[in-house]
Each structure stands twice: as C-alpha cells, then as structure tokens.
Amino acid sequence: MKGAIECGGVGEGMAVRTWIEPVVAGAQVASSFYDTGLLLVVKNYYNRTNSTSPAHVLEDLQQKAVSDFYIIYNLVLGLSPLLTAYGLTKLGDKKNRKITICFPLLGYLVSRSLLLLLILLGWPIEVMYGAAALNGLTGGFTTYWAGVMALGALGSSEHRRSLRLIVIELTYGMAGFLGSIASGHIFIHSHISYRQGTVLVASSIAVYAFCFLYSFFVLKVPTTEGTCPAYTAHSKLKDIDQPDSQLPEDERTAGSSGSCEDKGRGPLAPSKLIIAMLFIGAVLYDLAVVGAMDVLPLFLLKKPLSWGPVEIGYGNAAGYMIFITSFLGVFVFSKYLRDTTMIIIGILSFSVGILIMAFVRRTFLFYVARAIMLFALIPLPTIRSLLSKHVQGSSYGKVFVLLQLSLVITGVATSTAFNKIYQNILDWFSGFCFILSCVAGCLSIIPISG
C-alpha cells in the first residue's frame, strides 16, 4: 500500500522542473511573433518589387508571389527534417530526451536571427530558404514536438494521458493566442526607422533564447509513471471503467500495462492494425488541416476581406481559441466517450467549419466559421494518446517522430498542391481549397471508425 501511494505521488505531484509547459508557451509566443513578421515582411518585399505594376494587377501579382515563396519555404522547411529527425529522436531515447527539445530550439534561435538580419541589412527574401533549411536540419518542429509529446506521455498515467497531452496543446494554443494578439500591434507601432518588423522579430529571438536556456539548464526529464508495478496495477483497474479507449474491455485491461512488464511475462505486442489505422487517419486529417491553413492567410489578404496586420493578428488569435475549446471538450468528453468518438467529433467540427470558410466574404463570417471549428484540435493529440497505449514507454519518441514525419511529408505535398490550386482558381472561386479540405477531413473518419 505504501509503495502504491509513493509511486502514485511521483505522477500526481511532479516536480515543477519536469513541466514542459514553460518551454511550450515561450516557444509558441516566439513562433507567433515570427510567423506574423515573416508574412508581412514577405508581403512588403513583393509590394516593393512589383511597385511599378498597374494597381489593378498588383494584388494578383502579390498573391502569386507570396504563394510561390511559401511553396518553396514550406518544402524546404518540411523536407529538411527528414535527414535528421529520426536520428535525433533515437539518440534522445537512448541518451537524454532533452536532446529532442534543446537541439531544435537552438536551430530556431539561429534561423530566426536570419530574418532580423534580412530586415536590417536589406538582404533578398531568398535568404529565408536557407533559414528554413537550417531550422529543419536541426530537427525543426518535427523533432521538437515529438520530444514534447514524449515528455508529456512519460509524466502521465494511461487513463489520464489524453487529458495530459491536450493540456500541453492548450498551453501551446493560449501562448499562440497572446502572441498573435500582440504581434500585429508590435509590427505596426514598434520598429526602427523604416525597418518594419525589427522589434517583433527581435522579441521572437529573445523568447527563443529564454526557452533554449530553460530547457538546457532547468528542465528535467520526468520518470515514467508506468514503471511502478503497484501504480500500474491500480491503473489497470481504473482503466477498465474508463470509456477512453477504442478496445474491447478485455483488450483494454491487457493494454493498460503500458511500458511495464508483468512478472514472468514480456510486454504485450502492439496491435499493428490499430496503429496503422491511427496513422492513416492522422495523415488524412492533417492533409485537410494543412491544406486549409496554408491557403487561409492568402485568402485573408485578398479582396473582399483585404486584412492588414492587426486583423491578421486577431484572426490568428481566433484560431488559437480552438485550443481552449478543444481542451474543454476533452475534459468533458473523456468522462463519457471513447477516444475514437472524441476524434470523430473533432473531425466533423473542423470539416463543417472549413466548408463555411469557403463562402466567407465578410469578416464576421470568418469568426462564425472559426467558432464552429471549436473541437478541431481534439483528433491529433487523442490519436497520439491512443498510440502511446499500444507501444512501450521506451519507444514513445520513435513512434511520435515517425507519426510527425508522416504528417510533415503529407503537409509538404499538401501545401504545394493546395497553393498551386489556389493560384489557378483565384479568378474563379478562391474558397475551392476549403471544400477540398472538408472532403479530406470527412474521409479521415473512415480509418478511425474502422
């Protein structure tokens, strides 16, 4: 009894230094500053480049130029981690899981500095392709987020893992919300001479520096809750009563052993079919989300909306509110519904909202569409939670980075395709890409429910 209490206390009362949330929050505020700064710097750059064009063609030229830039930028950013992500994660699983956090953050810090130099020294915008390559070769978001999810899974019990991972996503979203609200105002009102964006990008670099130093010197890797036999046995009994699984009750009980080995037996082999179906569902859903979100900033800059820096900041902030509503959704739904049911609810929420976005012509309709997407964040963290219940704790990093690499490859292909489609339908129906995203979202339900 005493052992169960002591081991349970490790999971419930984690030392503050094992919390990954300060890093997630800081890095996302920095990312929000950078993303807004990059978009507006690129827009201003092509405005100057095309300034001799007639006014009636200037907007279309700018849209296509910005779109072409992001096609190449996203290709480089998405493909370069393929060379290093798996190796860094494998090294992190063997040596120290902080490697998958610190190394990408160092890459972020250096690559973001190139945007500041571009603004101050008037370098050509193509420098940012090199920045994207540097970011990717140091692991990028692929390695960083896999490391964050692995640390979150290690510090949580199986029956609370979905909630634990969505709390991390909530932290990510709230930080993005605050960063987006501030970024547009900082870009307009705080700059050096005529170099708009200087203070915004410098602030991003400073926050990334804090995150790197915190991760390197303060952050501690949590112990695995599942390694305590008494705690695991207690978790098994609780998980039988939890609807938070797609398995039958007898399989659910067996699967709750997590990364521990029962006395006299090895760990249970994961169900390859379930893992494969979860991967397919995640890839299809990510295809839908990435396709829509990559086109959305261009859609907002174009008439009839024609948003400026402040409106873009508020629009991004509205997107980050989904993190709060998705967290509340998981908090309530996990008490009554299976994980698979929660995933389907999230997919339908996104699909309906993005379908409405296709027909947005006034600002208030944008916020209506965003409001309907209130549970759109639920699917991917819940899929990660389900995956973690079918693999050993020592393999969390590798499984999560394989999933993240699958999503990155999908995202790169989708981003390229959707940007090209968007360019070709500008004069016909600019919301067509959102309809395609709706279809892809609905298709992702099939492997999840199967």
Q: Residue 6 pLDDT more than 70?
A: no
Residue type at 313? G
Bond into 304 cis (ω within 30): yes
pLDDT tens-digit readout, 187-211: 777 655 557 788 889 999 999 999 9
pLDDT digits (tens, 9 = 90+) for 330-363: 999 988 888 999 999 999 999 999 999 999 999 9
Regarding pTM above 0.75, the answer is no
Looking from the CA of 420 toward its CB, the CA atoms found within 13 Å total 7
Q: What confidence tier does 225 reach under pLDDT thresholds 50, 70, 90?
A: low
70 within domain boundaries:
yes
The CATH code of the domain that includes 70 is: 1.20.1250.20
Extract the tokens encoding 334.
């996990």
Q: What is the dihedral of CA 336, 159, 343, 90, to 10 degrees?
A: 180
pLDDT of residue 131: 96
Whole-number pLDDT of residue 190: 65
Q: Give the chain's domain count.
A: 2
Is 162 in the same domain as 287? Answer: no
pLDDT of residue 194: 59
- Judge contact between 161 and 389, C-beta under 8 A: yes
Inside any domain, residue 430 = yes
Lowest-pLDDT range, 81-95, 154-168, 287-301, 418-432? 154-168
Q: Provide the pLDDT for residue 245.
A: 41
Kindly state whether residues 295 and 215 are assigned to the same domain: no
Residues 433 and 294 both lie in one domain: yes
Of the chain, the percentage scoring pLDDT greater than 70 comes to 82
Question: 349 to each of 169, 372, 383, how far by Cα in Å?
Answer: 17, 6, 16
What pLDDT is recorded for position 260? Answer: 40
DSSP string, 6-23: HHHHHHHT--GGG--HHH
**Which of 77-81, 154-158, 261-265, 406-410 shows the lowest mean pLDDT across its residues?**
261-265
Structure tokens, 291 = 């396709």
Give yes or no: residues 47 and 148 share one domain: yes
Q: What angle do CA 6, 159, 228 make, to 5 degrees?
A: 30
Contact 60, 423 (CB under 8 A): no
Torsion of CA 218, 219, 225, 226, to 10 degrees: -140
Residue 185 in any domain: the answer is yes
Tell me how far apart the alpha carbons of residues 292 and 286 are, in angstroms, rounded to a whole number: 10
CA distance 85 to 141: 9
**Per-residue pLDDT tens digits for 136-171:** 999 999 999 989 988 888 877 777 787 888 899 899
Write the pLDDT tens digit of every residue in 99-121: 999 999 999 999 999 999 999 99
* pLDDT tens by residue, 56-78: 566 778 778 888 898 899 889 98
Q: Is residue 161 part of a domain?
A: yes
* Residues 434, 295 share a domain: yes
- pLDDT at residue 264 greater than cutoff 50: no
**The predicted structure's pLDDT at residue 54:** 62
Find the domain containing 422 and state its range. 271-449
Segment of 4-18, 210-224, 249-263 carrying the highest mean pLDDT: 210-224
Mean pLDDT over all residues of the chain?
81
Is 241 a residue whose pLDDT tops 90?
A: no
Q: Is the pLDDT of residue 258 over 50?
A: no
Residue ranges of E strands in 83-149: none
**Does 258 map to a domain?**
no
In the prediction, which pLDDT does 207 show? Answer: 96
Residue with tokens 């699958």: 406
Residues 343 and 439 grouped into a single domain? yes
Instruction: Provide φ and ψ at 195, rounded to 5°.
Output: -90, 80
Q: Are residues 292 and 361 in the same domain?
A: yes
5 pLDDT band, cuts 50/70/90, is very low
What is the token pair recorded at 146? 């896999």
What is the tens place of the pLDDT at every residue in 308-321?
Answer: 877 887 888 788 78
Give bridge partners of residue 195 from the DSSP assignment. 192
Q: Is residue 402 part of a domain?
A: yes
Q: How far is CA 390 from CA 201, 247, 378, in A?
A: 41, 11, 19
Number of H helices, E strands in the chain: 19, 0
Residues 32-39 have a mean pLDDT of: 90
Question: pLDDT category, 386, cuts 50, 70, 90?
Answer: confident
Q: How far apart are CA 314 and CA 292, in angstroms?
A: 18
**Residues 288, 201 share a domain:** no
Q: Look at the block and give the residue holding tokens 């094992």.
A: 18
Between 149 and 236, name the one with better pLDDT: 149
DSSP assignment letter at 50: T
Give me the DSSP letters along 243-301: ---SS-HHHHHHHTTTT---TTSPPPPP-HHHHHHHHHHHHHHHHHHHHHHHHHHHHHH
The answer to whether residue 227 sits within a structural domain is no
- Is 238 a member of any domain? no
| 284/413 same-domain check | yes
